[in-house]
A and B are shown apart, each in its own frame.
Chain A
């Protein structure tokens, strides 16, 4: 494999800027992987890795990935919140890399909420 250089980063920048100007910078989906101690210990990072792989493989550019802390539901971790623009957030519980891939393909890309994995709808208070 060719060595990764800063030149590659410059290419990414140009590509992203070209795409962004087409879409006027809007993001369609925000995905939050909960990364408290509880989330990390129960596998949140493997969920995060699966999500990043799927985003990379799909070539989607309108998805923003972020992390958050523990919200007090440690026993249901890993938790992932999917927020599609203009819709109420959906919180998924007991996530695994495979469930994440399914949620990515069916919910994030195709808009079908994956009910069996859903913990709650709506936002919680962040403390």
Chain B
């Protein structure tokens, strides 16, 4: 993965496979502390203790089509080589929380990248899921809720191409306003 936004799509897809109805994506940029934290939380099926222990092992996966599961291990490595780490909390039927943080100024920290496109991609594939996105940048906050968009649209689906473009531009502008430039 070349940017953190791609990890967000990837981990978000995990939540969808875990049958989540809600996904929370929380990003916190803090220049004073020189940190970026990303949290992806869901209300999916969660993992038991044994699965949780093995989830960060690249040679463990719950899928049958291949023998490796690289999503979480790659994100953990991305954090560890940029002065951060990943923590994973989960329990059966109470969802999963992935929290990862980075030293913002670290040479090896991947750029945040196209977060608006990441949100759009998650919505496109899963228009029925509630995405709660909150991005804080040095105290300024941008929030985006798919439920708000759905309220306005009524019977027009969220994965309509024009709506998706709207979502991407809306998030892009929102991030510009809070000064996110990571």
Binding site for B on A (CB under 8 A): 3-4, 6, 8-10, 12-13, 15-17, 20, 33, 35-38, 40-41, 45, 48-49, 52, 55-56, 60-61, 63-72, 74, 127
Residues of B within 8 A of A45 (CB): 5-6, 9, 114, 117-118, 121
Q: How many residues of B contact A (CB 8 A)?
A: 41
Residues of A within 8 A of B152 (CB): 6, 9-10, 13
Q: For chain B, what secondary structure do more than half of its interface residues adopt (helix, strand, loop), or is it mixed?
A: helix
Known: A13-B156, A36-B13, A40-B9. A8 touches B166 (CB 8 A): yes
What are 6 inter-chain pairs, A to B, with CB distance below 8 A?
Answer: A4-B170, A12-B166, A41-B6, A45-B118, A56-B165, A61-B161
Q: Are A35 and B125 in contact (CB under 8 A)?
A: yes
Residues of B within 8 A of A64 (CB): 159
CB of B74 within 8 Å of the partner chain = yes
Q: Which residue of B lies closest to A67 (CB)?
A: B125
Binding site for A on B (CB under 8 A): 1, 5-6, 9-10, 13, 17, 63-66, 69-71, 74, 114, 117-118, 120-121, 124-126, 149, 152-156, 159-166, 168-170, 173
Q: Are B10 and A63 in contact (CB under 8 A)?
A: no
Residues of A within 8 A of B120 (CB): 52
Q: Are B125 and A70 in contact (CB under 8 A)?
A: no
